[in-house]
Amino acid sequence: MALYEHVFLARQDLAQAQVDALAETATKIVEDMDGKVTKVETWGLRSLAYKIAKNRKAHYVMLNIDAPAGVVAELERQTQINEDIIRYMTVKVDELETGPSVMMRKQERSDRGDRGSRGDRGGSDGDRGPRREREDANAGE
């Protein structure tokens, strides 16, 4: 069986319970056709880069799937029919991530307030030497 990552965007006006129900429906479709969903991640309500069907935000959900290609075709067919899902994408991958995805790790960092190795500014001035005077600044006098 092949490995896939399936991400879908649900409308912004849905409640979290409805989004979870969409993920359960997708999981049921996969499992009914002898596939297996190894992980479901809800990334939450996030802003879109541009409006999609009058939505400025969407609920993001990712499923890691271990299933034959026919299962993915049926999942995508059912996803197209659903009016609550505004976009989806399925990607075949070589291996599935075992821990949290990059999006979840990014969210954890922002929740903790980590600013990375540079602090809250873009660069660090600690490794620079003293500032030297510019020669052309005194030339105009």
Digit-coded pLDDT (tens) for 64-80: 999 998 999 999 999 99
- At 62 the pLDDT is 94
**Residue corresponding to tokens 């409640």:** 15
> Distance (Å, rounded) from C-alpha 3 to C-alpha 67?
7
61 DSSP β-pair partners: 8, 42
> Distance (Å, rounded) from C-alpha 108 to C-alpha 90?
25
Q: What SS3 state is found at 14?
A: coil
Q: Are 40 and 6 in contact (CB under 8 A)?
A: no
pTM of the model: 0.73
**Residue corresponding to tokens 């879908």:** 8
